[in-house]
């Protein structure tokens, strides 16, 4: 490993204009110089170099697997709510059926805020271990719901766990990845697509065979057990994932998170433990980090700012707005944070708004042409879901392609998602609608794969949970609007599709204005 002398640290801190390095060099950072305080930035580069020298090994690959569970849960449970919506409505006959989706989105919002902001305060490990456990418990309990209010309450509660998965999991995975392998954050979204395939496969026999028909006026619990069996299976799946995470795998606290809290010695210890798990050794020492303490910050040396008294003071200020302010520290960083939040907000309304309209368009393009059977409904859903898998893989390839990168892949896939939504309004039968929906799902999976990877790369580690929480919260807040619109608006028109498509295209255009491209650069 290279010598971490003070001169080297200062030189690396000053030089951010070099060419993209090889995997054996310390990668340049995503954010502009001056976005972070000099001490933190210098230490982050030391830790980036240490992780890069350890390389992609056993620990990171195991983390890749268990982090994938969080990605799967993020897509699985909203799909669960969508799939059980009709049988639940048929059984309980609520006045406002979309209240089920509204309850889910409120839970997702609370989860994104609580776990996202919280993981910057109490660390990543607790959030990482608890989110799927909460989802599993309330998901299985929901199968016993005696009425519509109960299933709505449990949907909100399981969504509190679901809402925290991506803000926390993307942060902890990125913070253990060598800079040369950050593209794996995009590949992780294959779990998102596979979750959709899995849910559809399980729903096909259970909901297809044990569900009251919409024309049944007296839909009893005994005749409508399919949705209860379905969420029991989904809850049990989440429980298995929780046990694999909690019992079979030990996740370490992020070294850069520890360093950002003034716990340099623990950060060094974690780096050495990761190296040991990978069958390697690391020459990183506490002195390598302490040498960065000579950098002056606002009249005080960094060493003075990391004394025990300073750490205690920062701990007493954990609940202030410092993590938010840090995301707007410079004009370019403020522009990046604002644009990414606006992009997430636009997609938060666009996607569920289209899904609210989908039952109507499927009915008019299916039943009206004599082919709206349950078999074809689930067959088509499975075909659409399967096409999401190659979309995620293509996203992983595009983000590392020169002249395309994160921005190009995200902008193009988002615009094309909107274009194919517009095209779906031209469908005259279920087969043509299937074709347009396949194209929509393919490009939307590319879009989300890149978005989930690109977003956390634009935030520094010490504020990454907060940044993820802000963007996810904007997404969930606007997501809450969709079921409200569905309750009071006339969805038996193509208007929601046009609005949704326009939002996708607008979001794709905003991507081009983002000031940072993270391809080939290490996150701080």
**DSSP secondary structure of 188-231:** TTHHHHHHHHHHHHHHHHHHHHS---TT-SS--TTT--HHHHHH
What is the DSSP-derived secondary structure letter of residue 490?
-
Instruction: With CA atoms as reference, report the closest residue to 173 among 54, 61, 63, 47.
Output: 63
Q: Is 107 exposed, middle or buried (0-12, 13-18, 19+ CB in 10 A)?
A: buried
Buried b (16+ CB within 10 A) or exposed e, 414-453: bbbbbbbbbbbeebeebeebbebbbbbbbbbbbbbbbbbb
For 324, 436, 443, 500, the CA distances from 355, given in Å and listed in that order, are 32, 14, 16, 10
- Architecture of the domain delimited by 58-251+329-511: Up-down Bundle (1.20)
Q: Please provide the size of the chain in residues.
A: 524
pLDDT in tens, the chain (524 residues): 334 344 443 444 444 333 333 333 444 555 555 556 677 778 888 888 898 889 899 999 999 999 999 989 998 999 899 889 888 988 999 988 889 989 999 999 999 889 888 887 777 888 888 999 999 999 999 999 999 999 999 999 999 999 988 888 888 888 888 877 888 888 888 998 899 899 989 998 898 888 887 655 788 888 899 999 999 999 999 999 999 998 888 889 888 888 888 889 999 999 999 999 999 999 888 888 888 876 544 444 444 444 444 443 444 444 456 778 888 888 888 999 999 999 999 999 998 888 766 655 665 555 443 445 666 777 888 888 898 899 988 998 898 888 898 999 999 999 999 999 888 878 777 788 889 989 999 999 999 989 988 898 888 877 888 888 899 889 989 988 888 887 777 666 667 778 899 999 999 999 999 988 887 776 66
Angle value at C-alpha 378, between 376 and 381, nearest 5 degrees: 105
What is the DSSP secondary-structure string of 245-292? Answer: HHTT--PPPPHHHHHHTT-HHHHHHHHHHHHHHTT------HHHHHGG
Continuous segment of H or E residues that includes residue 300: strand 300-301
Distance spanning both ends of the chain, measured CA to CA: 20
Q: Can you tell me the distance from the alpha carbon of 236 to that of 362, in angstroms, rounded to the nearest whole number?
A: 31
18 neighbors 509 (Cβ within 8 angstroms): no
Instruction: With CA atoms as reference, report the closest residue to 155 among 64, 216, 89, 81.
Output: 81
Residue 317 has what pLDDT?
A: 45
> How many H helices and E strands in the chain?
22, 2
Residue 165 has what pLDDT?
A: 87
Half-sphere exposure of 80 (CA within 13 A, CB side): 35
What is the DSSP-derived secondary structure letter of residue 297?
E
Half-sphere exposure of 234 (CA within 13 A, CB side): 38
The model carries a pTM of 0.79
265 neighbors 288 (Cβ within 8 angstroms): no
Residues pairing with 297 in the sheet: 300
Name, in order, each residue with C-beta under 8 angstroms of 91's C-beta and a sequence gap of 6 or more. Answer: 212, 219, 220, 221, 224
Residue 122 has what pLDDT?
A: 79
Half-sphere exposure of 217 (CA within 13 A, CB side): 0
Residue 34 has what pLDDT?
A: 54
Q: Can you tell me the distance from the alpha carbon of 18 to that of 334, in angstroms, rounded to the nearest whole number?
A: 24
How many CB atoms lie under 10 A from the CB of residue 335?
15
Q: Can you tell me the distance from the alpha carbon of 244 to that of 226, in angstroms, rounded to the nearest whole number?
A: 27
83 neighbors 210 (Cβ within 8 angstroms): no
Give the phi and the psi of residue 29 in degrees, each rounded to 5. Answer: -95, 160
Instruction: With CA atoms as reference, report the closest residue to 517 among 402, 421, 427, 370.
Output: 402
Residue 306 has what pLDDT?
A: 42
Radius of gyration for the chain, computed over Cα atoms and rounded to the nearest angstrom: 24
Look at residue 301 and give its three-state secondary structure: strand
Q: Is 268 exposed, middle or buried (0-12, 13-18, 19+ CB in 10 A)?
A: buried
Residue 296 has what pLDDT?
A: 42
How many CB atoms lie under 10 A from the CB of residue 490?
8
Instruction: With CA atoms as reference, report the closest residue to 231 among 263, 260, 202, 193.
Output: 202
Instruction: With CA atoms as reference, report the closest residue to 465 among 318, 349, 342.
Output: 318
């Amino acid at each position: 490993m290279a010598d971490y002398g003070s001169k080297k640290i200062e030189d690396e801190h000053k030089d951010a204009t070099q060419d993209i390095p090889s995997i054996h060099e310390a990668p340049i950072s995503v954010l502009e110089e001056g976005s972070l305080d000099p001490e933190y930035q210098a230490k982050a580069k030391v830790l980036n170099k240490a992780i890069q020298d350890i390389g992609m090994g056993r620990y990171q690959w195991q983390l890749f697997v268990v982090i994938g569970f969080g990605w799967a849960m993020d897509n699985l449970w909203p799909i669960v709510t969508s799939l059980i919506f009709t049988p639940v409505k048929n059984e309980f006959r609520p006045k406002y059926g979309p209240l089920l989706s509204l309850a889910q989105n409120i839970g997702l919002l609370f989860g994104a805020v609580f776990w996202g902001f919280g993981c910057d305060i109490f660390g990543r490990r607790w959030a990482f271990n608890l989110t799927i456990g909460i989802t599993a418990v309330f998901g299985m309990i929901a199968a016993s719901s005696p009425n519509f209010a109960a299933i709505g309450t449990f949907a909100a509660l399981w969504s509190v766990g679901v809402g925290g998965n991506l803000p926390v999991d993307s942060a902890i995975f990125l913070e253990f990845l060598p800079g040369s392998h950050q593209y794996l954050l995009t590949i992780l979204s294959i779990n998102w697509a596979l979750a959709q395939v899995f849910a559809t496969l399980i729903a096909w026999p259970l909901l297809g065979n044990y569900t009251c028909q919409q024309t049944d006026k007296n839909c009893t619990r005994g005749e409508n057990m399919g949705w209860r069996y379905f969420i029991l299976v989904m809850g049990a799946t989440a429980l298995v994932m929780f046990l694999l995470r909690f019992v079979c795998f030990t996740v370490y606290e992020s070294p850069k998170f520890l360093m950002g809290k003034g716990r340099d010695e623990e950060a060094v210890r974690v780096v050495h433990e990761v190296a040991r798990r990978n069958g390697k050794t690391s020459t990183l020492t506490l002195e390598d980090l302490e040498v960065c303490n000579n950098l002056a910050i606002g009249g005080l040396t960094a060493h003075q700012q990391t004394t025990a008294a300073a750490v205690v003071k920062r701990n007493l200020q954990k609940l202030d707005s410092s993590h938010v302010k840090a995301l707007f520290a410079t004009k370019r960083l403020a522009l990046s944070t604002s644009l990414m939040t606006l992009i997430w907000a636009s997609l938060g309304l666009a996607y569920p708004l289209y899904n609210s309209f989908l039952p109507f368009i499927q009915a008019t393009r299916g039943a009206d042409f004599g082919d709206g059977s349950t078999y074809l409904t689930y067959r088509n859903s499975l075909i659409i879901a399967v096409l999401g898998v190659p979309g995620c893989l293509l996203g992983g390839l595009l983000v590392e392609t020169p002249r395309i990168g994160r921005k190009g892949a995200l902008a193009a896939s988002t615009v094309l998602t909107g274009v194919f939504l517009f095209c779906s309004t031209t469908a005259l039968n279920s087969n043509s609608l299937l074709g347009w929906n396949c194209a929509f799902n393919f490009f939307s999976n590319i879009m989300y794969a890149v978005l989930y990877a690109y977003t956390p790369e634009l935030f520094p580690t010490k504020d990454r949970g907060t940044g993820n929480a802000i963007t996810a919260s904007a997404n969930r807040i606007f997501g809450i609007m969709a079921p409200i619109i569905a309750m009071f608006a006339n969805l038996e028109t193509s208007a929601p599709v046009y609005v949704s498509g326009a939002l996708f295209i607008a979001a794709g255009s905003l991507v081009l204005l983002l000031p940072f491209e993270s391809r080939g650069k290490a996150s701080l």
